[in-house]
Amino acid sequence: MNILLLNAGSSSLKATLMDSKEGKPLATGLADWAGTVTRYRYAGPDGAERSEDVPWKGHAAAVERFVHDLTRAEPVALPDLARLAAVGHRVVHGGQFTSSVQITPDVRSRLSALVDLAPLHNPPSLETLVAAEKVLPGVPHIAVFDTAFHATLPPQAYTYAVPESWTRDWGIRRYGFHGLSHAYCARRAAEMLGRPADDLRLVICHLGHGCSAAAVRGGKSVDTTMGFTPLDGLVMATRSGSIDPGAVLHVQKRHGLTAEQVETALNRQSGLLGLSGVSADMRQVLSAAGAGNDRARLALEVYTHRVRQAIGALAATLGGIDALVFTAGVGEHSGEVRKRICAGLEFLGLDLDADTNATSRTDADIAARGSRGRILIIATREDVTMLREVVQVLGAK
């Protein structure tokens, strides 16, 4: 079966056509309009990548262009749309959905009601869905949720100490996110270590534009740093991570900020950007810190402190740690950030090999030879997890 996978960001769309039998990409595309111009990349079955700046922007235009290239660009990846078995859509916040589902009018309505819980992510997913259904009618569309992997959280991990009616009537609880990435890394770590997933206690740090850490025991999530929304937990590129809710009440009551202004500040103006005043991009923050910028240096210290703190807490939840995993853009590519995070984790049996960390690419073990726990860099493959989920839904029909 050929399956199209669509992963919508706030100002980007990743698309992959995959062969379900081989589990390999047949074509890939990326449209990114975060800057002043939309940059579009496409690679067909021959692997040759073409890049160009295009005059359009938006998820609908990106879907149309990618489907056009799939069916017409030489060499043609999908000569007949009838060969397309399904379209998988990554949806960040699934609310009460605990597994992937085929999208029906009822499911779409329930997803629309979740928009406020993931304002940077769910609206683009819905826009992409509408566009894909228009261009690809009659094909099953499957929602794959970032929250579903964390459906195994026990009550003591997902329950907030708020009035019980908030949880019962309004669904206020910890959901967790980046589940597609955490699920892939849990399986890949077991492969790399040559051990059954059932035997492993893992702390997985997904450090990208968004950041979260998860405790995974026996291949299942038992705790995670993100909460009711993707705003909770670690410091991120533009998101604050955890702060005292009293601070939110204070700026509203004493300084007159509206709920919308607070939401914008915490989602788009905080994190690395707010701390450093330089950039939301870790590479630029590192460069500025190295050049002596005090705010950038503090941003780096706060960021790594929070991650190290989370690793310790999650290791305590697991009762020990067999491996620490770094993944996503920062986790995979910044040896400096990994070094700063691992400094002081020797008490957990995690000893970093400085030379290996500085030179390794993914997928690699960067722990010192005598380290009791292993430290892994894994290139996350959310598309592989999405493919697995879509195939499972199709098989259950």
- Distance, C-alpha 55 to centroid of its chain: 28
Token pair of 356 as six digits: 């290996």
H-type alpha helices, 319-381: 328-333, 335-342, 354-359
Which residue from 56, 58, 78, 57 is spatially nearest to 67, judged by alpha carbons?
A: 78
Mark whether 32 is an active-site residue.
no
| Token output for 305 | 């402190």
**Residue 109, class by beta-carbon neighbours within 10 Å (0-12 exposed, 13-18 middle, 19+ buried)?**
exposed
Distance CA 215, CA 205 (A): 9
Reading the block at residue 237, the tokens are: 């590129």
Q: Rg of the chain's alpha carbons, rounded to an integer? A: 21
22-42 exposure pattern, b = at least 16 Cβ within 10 A, e = fewer: eeebbbbbbbbbeeeebebeb
Q: Using alpha carbons, list the distances in angstroms from residue 50 to 27, 42, 72, 285.
A: 12, 5, 14, 30
Q: How far apart are CA 139 and CA 136, in angstroms?
A: 6
- State the Cα torsion 87-88-90-94 to the nearest 10°: 110
Q: What is the largest CA-CA distance in the chain?
A: 62
Using the CB atoms, write b or e for 321-333: b if 16+ within 10 Å: bbbbbbbbbbbbb
Catalytic-role residue among 146, 223, 232, 351: 146
CA–CA gap between residue 88 and residue 81 (Å, rounded): 15
* Residue 375, beta-bridge partner list: 324
Return the H-helix or E-strand segment holding 251.
Answer: helix 245-253
Distance CA 152, CA 193 (A): 24
Provide the annotated active-site residues.
146
